[in-house]
Structure 1
Amino acid sequence: MNQPVRIKTLFDETNIADRNEAMARDIVAAKPHNLLVIAVLKGSFMFAADLIRALHRAGLEPQVEFIQLSSYKAGLVSSGTVTIVKDIDSDVVGRDVLLLDDILESGRTLAFAKDLLTARGAKRVMSAVLLEKPEKRAVDITPDFVGFTCPDLFVVGYGMDAAHSFRQLPYIGIIEQTEA
């Protein structure tokens, strides 16, 4: 980012940590069996790490995998077609799966992953998203667990980026342009 920017905090570290603990309790209450957590890369990596540790504190011992999906190809606007960039290695047949994603907007990526894992024989596929933008939905999908409902703004931090910057922020914020 060439221009100076200021990041306005939308959800701070404490709010995020509290929601992760609450979601972990809700996930435990769903009584998952032989749980495989699959984090959708790249944006969910911080959320996944914190939620998986919260699941451990809540008494679960899930196995963990990562999948990388793309609907953007070389552009900045979604193509509407989701492709697998990096697949999981584990067999999901007969298992409960929890998909983790950073943000649910159009729903295409999450719906694709859920359909894929169901077709591969998962017993139950649940989803947890850190942020949900309900007004952006292009497909009919409802997440099982939601961290926060998010306004229709471009957010960064806590794993989410703008041109590969700001992923490291421990909070979620909105970029505000400043005068140079």
Structure 2
Amino acid sequence: MTELTSDTQSGVEVIYSADMIATRLEGLAQEIIARGLERPLVVAVLKGSFVFAADLIRALHRSGLEPEVDFLTLSSYRKSRTSSGKVEILRDLDLGVDGRNVLLVDDVLDSGRTLVFAKDLISARGAKEILTCVLIDKKVPRAVNVHADFSAFEGGDEFVVGYGMDVAHRYRELPFVGRMMQKET
């Protein structure tokens, strides 16, 4: 059970502290390594996953894996807290994925549209195997049929910020995952 605290400076209630995240990433790296991926390519879905992906890549390295890394920028939110339902490519991959084992890293799995879009795109380009890893797997109804192969945490139906995730380009810098505190009336 998570003990919630608040960061009064940011107005965000802490759900997963920096220490909790760091500890979980070490275990997550071991789970990924146990899959035995050869020549893995980590593809971070930007922007929300950039902090998670960076820390995960370092945890994989400490565990003996040396993945190549690339980035795919997708958007379905823009400045909103709700998905538009349409996924757009804002920045495409630089590296080829043909015949590669790909670990697709994203911040939150909720509707599933972004993850399915990215998986389909990489699959169509000839990837050998595509595994998915998310920071938070929200236990909510999905718009599409998808599951994460690896997840750091499970979450509910709440909008989260921090640890790379934002609302209207704010709160990415927070070292923890949290939710906006209700303003008192």
Name the TM-score class by shorter chain.
Answer: over 0.9
CA deviations 1:83-107 (Å, max 9, x no partner) are 2110001111111000000001100
* Structure 1 gap ranges (5+): none
Equivalence for 1:91? 96
Paired residue secondary structure (2:15): strand
Equivalence for 1:132? 137
* Structure 2 gap ranges (5+): 1-8
Letter of the 1:140 counterpart: N
So what's the TM-score if we normalise by structure 1?
Answer: 0.92
Q: Percent identity?
A: 53
Greater relative contact order: 1 or 2 (C-alpha under 8 angstroms, separation 6 or more)?
1
Q: Distance in 2 between matches of 1:7 and 1:125?
A: 34
So what's the TM-score if we normalise by structure 2?
Answer: 0.90
Note the aligned Cα RMSD (angstroms): 1.7
Q: Distance in 2 between matches of 1:53 and 1:73?
A: 29
Is residue 148 from structure 1 mapped to residue 121 from structure 2 by the alignment?
no
Match of 2:106 among 101, 109, 124: 101
8 Å contact kept, 1:5–1:176: no
Paired residue secondary structure (1:167): coil
Equivalence for 2:6? none
Q: Distance in 2 between matches of 1:158 and 1:79?
A: 23
Paired residue secondary structure (1:135): coil
Letter of the 2:14 counterpart: T
CA deviations 1:106-127 (Å, max 9, x no partner) are 0000001001111100000001
Question: Aligned residues, how many?
Answer: 177
8 Å contact kept, 1:130–1:148: yes
Equivalence for 1:57? 62
Equivalence for 2:15? 10
Paired residue secondary structure (2:11): strand
1:55: how far off? 0.4
